[in-house]
Chains A and B, each alone.
Chain A
Amino acid sequence: MSRSRPVFPFSALVGQHDMQRGLLIASVDPLVGGVLILGDRGTGKSTAVRALAAVLPPIRAVECAYRCEPRATAGLCSRCTAKSRARPTASDVPVPVVDLPLGATEDRILGALDLERLMVSGEKVYEPGLLARANRGFLYIDEVNLLEDHLVDLLIDVAASGENRIERESLSIVHPARFVLVGSGNPEEGELRPQLLDRFGLAVEVRTPQDLDQRVEVVRRREAFERDPEGFCASHAQAEQALRAKLVAARRALDRIRFDDTLLRLAAALCQQLGTDGLRGELALMRAAKAAAALDGLRTVQREHLMEVAPMALRHRLRRDPLDETDSSARVARAIAQVFGEAAG
């Protein structure tokens, strides 16, 4: 989708701290595994995602359909792997943010035989789909909980493996499809399949602000933006630049962030307390805490980081007990208080 209109600046978003933080963490460390944004309608979920894309620094990419990284040796498409010695020309491109519309066809998502080539020369050539376009970027699914099951099935495999494997229509193709999955939806309209839920590293909740000042400010900024998009963006350009610099620095620092043994033990205790299934919760928790520390410009993860990201990393991984009415956020909060309280005392 081409976007001629300027995008609302990320730094001009009002409130919704969790959502902002979650998106930034996921873009500092893509391995955290994407963000699920759950909440009321009209809270600016889509706006935030598009704004994030605009603030991200461009990536260096080879001119191929999958935007392969020029210096990488693994995770390349077949063509770039074959040519890896040739050092192809590369250029800076914006981080792709690909929308996956609810009504998309399987062909459009996975890619299919290129009709033109077929008709003109009878050649079987694979035409990449949305998953290919999202490689090294973001795949955004608005109303992800309303996605048809057969499309969810396609995503579940790709999101886990980072590659799109096609065996259909006499095609046999594998191409890289590493993307940060960002989904948004209104949970009242339908539940997500647990398998897909698990593919999201973080889950954040957004609510309509109940504070009048904040509401007014949201509407005021939206209006100011609508009235003069260019001017509005220009007035936030500095803040955007600062945010971009912060992201770049955080990414660079990420590998050097240390995690204390005591904190590791606390993280493990927290997961145990909550009975989250498998290791994925623990991994997401630790990665997110590291990214949060990197964003704050620190070298070691602090207890606060762990406490901050624990709700996002764990709330969607709790086993549901039909007889326990407390919502998952409250349960995580309780466990945090327990585990961290004990550690303190």
Chain B
Amino acid sequence: MIEPATQHDPAARGVTRVDPVDDALHALELFALSPLALGGVHLRGWHGPRRQALLGWLRGACASASALREAGWFLLPHHTEPDQLDPGADLAESLRQGRAVIRPGLIDRFAGGVVVLQRAERMSTGLAARLAAALDEQKFALVVLDESLPDEEGPWAGLLDRLALSIDLRDESAWRALDALAALGRSPTPVPGAATRSPGLAGTQTEPRGLTELCRAAQLLGVDSMRRAAQASLLARLSVADSVRGAPRSTAAPADLFARDADLAFAIRQVLLPRATVLPPIPAPDEASADAQEPPDVQPPDTQPPDPPTPEPADTPMEAPEAQAPPDSEPADPSTLPDGASERLIEATLSALPPGLLAALASQFGSRAVASRGTGSGRQTAKGRGRARSVGARRGRPRGSERVHLLATLRAALPWQKLRNGYALQASGDADSRASMAVTAHGAVSSARLIRFHPDDLHVHRERRRRGTTTVFVVDASGSTALQRLSEAKGAVELLLADCYVRRDRVALVSFRGTGAELLLSPTRSLVAARRALTALPGGGGSPVAAGLELAARLAAQLARAGDDVSLVVLTDGRANLSRDGQPGRERAALEARRVARELVPLAVNRVLIDTSVRPEPAAQALAAALAARYLPMPFARARDIRDSIAAATR
């Protein structure tokens, strides 16, 4: 069996192994030629020679592209205040000139250029949202530098959605070639003749068949955002435009301006694949590498026979003129597309990748799936993490690390100027006048433009405090647990308490036994109170798991509203035997427990379930699954081990 793709187009990029560095550089090259249309690049990886080399190269490529030469290359720090992006009053200049001077907004200053957003994972959602709106209007293009750890939340997803390209520099094997260059202090080869190249998108198009394939590929890869398919189509068209750049427009056959399979595969690799949430069944990487050139012997036999003939006509140039009829005249006709075509395209795309990269992608996909499940609506609580953010001004003198709110201070002082100036003239020399501060922008006291501040004009930034973390422990103190493991569980919790204390996290303790749940300890930072509550925790009785989790959910919701991140640690054997209304019955109780557990998922950022039974208990595992929690069986673990694994899970 001959591999279908080779049969149609032997020169297709998608078939011969693609060097990931070349491939990515080609995408970046196209980005440099048409940055605004592609939106931007999501660049993952830490600062280092590799990233520097790539950025240096990209900057060079952008600078040599004619459209960008004047527009420029800008850096934007992650702590930029969102209101700087739009025009606003320039305080210093206004004071100096004695009239309101409006400073231009950063967005206008960046117009048409490429903006490098540094440490984007630390930026506030407000900044990200404003940038995203600017991208929608194609004001500039963004290179988003993302240094987040694998299990950490990256930059705001709404912003990333608008960036067509994504490059992951953390993959060691893929970037070796670039490293070698970087070590020599060199950059990759510059784009040849970029200055004279124009993106020339005008004549190019992704005809209906290609568009259908891209959309289908997006569907198969679980890429839901409609922006992605549009971006992929755009990249395919740029790739076509670029490939015919050598030939003068007039000699390029019209068919050359259609995206070919190779362009589509390239677009899938660079736009869709990095965002895949599902990997369709593909030849195992090992088989692919063993089979030096022709991997897909493992294709499902039923899709193969109808495949080759149908897509062929669209590929061959002689059919193309017909398809070149007015671009918007006819919608895609999916009936011409056999079901297997897109699968085949993806398969070809995947098998073109080096095996190592594929494995990395698969594992990356795995970790991302877990991460996204883990964060869920925790995302909201994590916004603006880290730094205190200004949320307005309040009257008062700056204390400690508080900052003076210049605008508000000025607003408070200005209405009084007439009065104060008159007063100051009368009482010059008085001790009173020295109490009021007189300032000009030059620092010199001149009677012409003088603003007199009184101490009570002072306003400071009202800051929202850094979000804290509260760990909520839910301890099962029912008979089944109490007998076996309660003391061990207590030991583990005590160690965890100590950790929380060190981090200045707050802890809360919920326990359930007998017929209900109780809040043993409201959120506190007091280690002593926590320890006392824990020691006094009695054991025995029924196991109303649902009631315990419900109380925890109420508490977690309350904490989330107050702006805390919640970590949840549940210690139980999961064997619920009392439903919430106090009725005994295992089945109903377990069902209820799992339902409440699902409700809890969005409320806590981290969730851990420690199975306290003697050997791993299916009921506890089911509960952990419902809770989407990390499951840790305690049987063989000592308190310290549990502490360590929880610390790793909730870090």
Closest to B214 in A: A219
Q: Which of A108, A122, A148, A213 contacts B391 (CB 8 A)?
A: A148
Q: Does A99 contact B (CB under 8 A)?
A: yes
From known contacts A146-B380, A190-B380, A212-B212, infer whether A218 and B83 are also in contact, taking CB-CB under 8 Å.
Answer: no
What is the total number of residues of chain B having a CB less than 8 Å from a CB of chain A? 76
Residues of B within 8 A of A107 (CB): 392, 407
In the assembled complex, the Cα of A217 lies from the Cα of B334 at a distance in Å of 11
Q: Which residue among A44, A150, A170, A219 has the maximum number of chain B CB atoms within 10 Å of its CB? A: A219
Q: In the complex, how many angstroms separate the beta carbon of B392 from the nearest chain A beta carbon?
A: 5
- Asked if A212 contacts B215 (CB within 8 A), the reply is yes
Cα A215 to Cα B381 with chains together (Å):
33
Contact B133–A218 (Cβ < 8 Å):
no
Query: Contact between B161 and A188 (Cβ–Cβ < 8 Å)?
Result: no
Interface string of B132-161 (1 = CB under 8 A from A): 010011100000000000000000011001
In chain A, what residue has the closest Cβ to B134? A1
Q: Which of B224-232, B294-302, B499-507 contacts A (4 or more CB under 8 A)?
A: B224-232
Report the Cα distance A246→B623, complex, angstroms.
54
B-binding segment of A60-68, A222-230, A278-286:
A222-230
Q: Which residues of B contact A218 (CB under 8 A)?
A: 226, 229-230
**B596 A322 Cβ-Cβ under 8 A:** yes
B332 within 8 Å of A (CB atoms): yes
* CB–CB A222/B230 < 8 A: yes
Q: Is B411 interfacial (CB 8 A cutoff)?
A: yes
Whole-angstrom CA separation of A103 from B98 in the bound complex:
29
| Chain B contact residues: helix, strand, loop or mixed | helix
A296 is an interface residue with CB less than 8 A from chain B: no
Q: Which of A105, A106, A322 contacts B599 (CB 8 A)?
A: A322
- B-facing mask of A86-127, CB < 8 A → 1, else 0? 000000000000010111111110001101101110101000
Closest to A210 in B: B219
- Chain A residues in 8 Å Cβ range of B391: 106, 148, 150
Closest A-chain residue to B372, C-beta based? A188
With known contacts A101-B130, A120-B99, A216–B334 Cβ distance under 8 A? yes
Contact A191 B377 (CB under 8 A): yes
The yes or no answer to A18 lying at the interface (CB within 8 A) is no
Interface residues on A, range: 35 or more
A124 & B415 in contact (Cβ 8 Å cutoff): yes
The reply to whether B129 and A146 form a contact with Cβ atoms under 8 Å apart is yes
| CB <8 Å contact, A169 and B411 | yes
The answer, among A115, A190, A323, for a CB contact under 8 Å with B379, is A190
- A235 interface contact, C-beta 8 A: yes
- Assuming the contacts A103-B82, A119-B100, asked whether A5 and B137 have C-beta atoms less than 8 A apart, the reply is yes
CB of B165 to closest CB in A, whole Å: 16
Q: Which residue of A1, A42, A103 contacts B227 across the interface (Cβ within 8 Å)? A: A42
Interface residues of A in 193-242 (CB under 8 A from B): 208-210, 212-213, 215-220, 222-224, 226-227, 235
Q: A146-B125, A208-B226, A218-B226 are in contact. Are A3 and B130 (CB under 8 A)?
A: no
Residues of B within 8 Å of A103, CB to CB, are: 81-83, 124-127, 129-130
Closest CB of chain A to B475's CB: distance in Å? 21
Q: Which of A188, A191, A216 contacts B211 (CB 8 A)?
A: A216
Q: Which residue of A lies closest to B418 (CB)?
A: A122
The reply to whether B124 and A122 form a contact with Cβ atoms under 8 Å apart is: no
From residue A197, how far is it (CB to closest CB) to chain B in Å? 14
Chain A residues in 8 Å Cβ range of B383: 146
B328 within 8 Å of A by Cβ? yes
Looking across the interface, which residue of chain A has its beta carbon closest to that of B451?
A119
Q: Are the C-beta atoms of B411 and A113 separated by less than 8 Å?
A: yes
Which of B158, B161, B202, B599 is packed against the most chain A CB atoms within 10 Å?
A: B158
Given the complex of chains A and B, what is the CA–CA distance between A161 and B332 in angstroms?
49
Complex interface: chain A residues within 8 A of B327 (CB): 224, 227
For the complex, give the distance between the alpha carbons of A226 and B464 in Å. Answer: 41
The answer to whether B201 has its CB under 8 Å from any CB of chain A is yes
Q: Hey, which chain A residues are within 8 Å of B230, CB to CB?
A: 218-219, 222-223
Contacts of A210 in B (CB 8 A): 219
How many angstroms from the CA of A99 to the CA of B133 in the assembled complex?
Answer: 10
| Interface flags, B412-428, vs A, CB<8A=1, else 0 | 10110110000000000
B498: interface (CB < 8 Å): no
Assess whether A106 is in contact with B392, with CB atoms less than 8 Å apart. yes
CB-CB under 8 A for A189 and B379, given A108-B83, A216-B215: yes
CB-CB contacts below 8 Å: B81-97 with A:
81-83, 89, 94-95
Q: B331 within 8 Å of A by Cβ?
A: yes
Whether A226 lies near B224 (C-beta < 8 A) is no
Contact partners of A208 in chain B: CB under 8 A: 224-226
Does A29 sit within 8 A of B, measured CB to CB? no
Whether B411 contacts A118 by the Cβ 8 Å rule is yes
Whole-angstrom CA separation of A148 from B467 in the bound complex: 13
Please give, as numbers and ranges, the residues of chain A lying within 8 Å of B226 by CB-CB distance. 42-44, 208-209, 215, 218-219, 222
What residues of chain A lie closer than 8 Å to B205, measured between beta carbons? 223
Contact with B along A135-158 (1 / 0, CB 8 A): 000000011011010100000000
Contacts of A213 in B (CB 8 A): 331-332, 334
> Any chain B CB within 8 A of the CB of A41?
yes
A212 near B234 (CB under 8 angstroms)? no
Per-position 1/0 for B156-195, Cβ under 8 A of A: 0110010000000000000000000000000000000000
- Which of A40, A120, A145, A169 makes the CB contact (< 8 A) with B412? A169
Complex Cα distance A105/B393, Å? Answer: 10
Report if B5 contacts A (CB, 8 A). Answer: no
Contact with A along B198-232 (1 / 0, CB 8 A): 00011001101001101110110000111111100
Chain B residues with Cβ below 8 Å from A3 are 137
* Contact bitstring A1-29, B, C-beta under 8 A = 1, else 0: 10101000000000000000000000000
Determine if A323 and B595 form an interchain contact, defined as CB atoms under 8 angstroms apart: yes
Whether, in the assembled complex, B77 has its beta carbon less than 8 Å from a beta carbon of chain A, the answer is: no
Minimal beta-carbon separation of A9 from chain B (angstroms): 13
Chain A residues within 8 Å of B234, by CB: 223, 226
Q: Does B606 contact A (CB under 8 A)?
A: no
Complex Cα distance A303/B161, Å? 41
A216 touches B415 (CB 8 A): no
The docked-state distance in angstroms from the alpha carbon of A188 to that of B410 is: 42
Q: B53 in the interface, Cβ–Cβ < 8 Å?
A: no
User: Could you give, for residues 481-522 of chain B, a 1 whenever the CB lies within 8 Å of some chain A CB and a 0 otherwise?
Assistant: 000000000000000000000000000000000000000000
In angstroms, Cα B411 to Cα A186, docked, is: 38
Q: Which residues of A contact B201 (CB under 8 A)?
A: 227
Choose from B99, B208, B407 the contact partner of A119 (Cβ within 8 Å).
B99
Q: Across the interface, which residues of A come within 8 angstroms of B381, CB to CB?
A: 190
Q: Is the CB of A322 within 8 A of B328?
A: no
**Complex CA distance for A209 and B380, rounded to whole angstroms:** 26
Given A41-B225, A208-B225, A216-B334, A143:B125 Cβ within 8 A? yes
B595 and A224 within 8 A (CB): no
Is A115 touching B211 in the complex (CB atoms < 8 A)?
Answer: no
Interface pair B331/A217, CB less than 8 Å apart = yes
The closest CB in chain B to the CB of A4 belongs to B137
Return A207 CB to nearest CB of chain B, in Å.
Answer: 9
Tell me the minimal C-beta distance from A123 to chain B in angstroms.
8
Smallest CB separation, A15 vs chain B (Å): 10
Q: In the assembled complex, how far is the CB of residue B53 from the closest CB belonging to chain A, in whole angstroms?
A: 32
Residue A325, interface by CB 8 Å: yes
Query: A46 on the interface (CB 8 Å rule)?
Result: yes
Min CB distance B222 to A, Å, is 11
Interface pairs (28), CB distance under 8 Å: A41-B224, A42-B227, A43-B226, A103-B124, A103-B126, A113-B414, A115-B100, A115-B407, A115-B411, A119-B94, A119-B99, A122-B417, A142-B133, A146-B129, A146-B380, A148-B464, A188-B376, A208-B224, A212-B215, A212-B334, A213-B331, A215-B219, A216-B208, A222-B226, A224-B327, A227-B327, A322-B553, A322-B595
5 further interface pairs, Cβ-Cβ under 8 Å (given A102-B125, A145-B380, A224-B327): A104-B83, A189-B379, A219-B214, A224-B328, A322-B550
Spell out A's residues near B (CB within 8 Å): 1, 3, 5, 40-44, 46, 99, 101-108, 112-113, 115-116, 118-120, 122, 124, 142-143, 145-146, 148, 150, 169-170, 186, 188-191, 208-210, 212-213, 215-220, 222-224, 226-227, 235, 322-323, 325
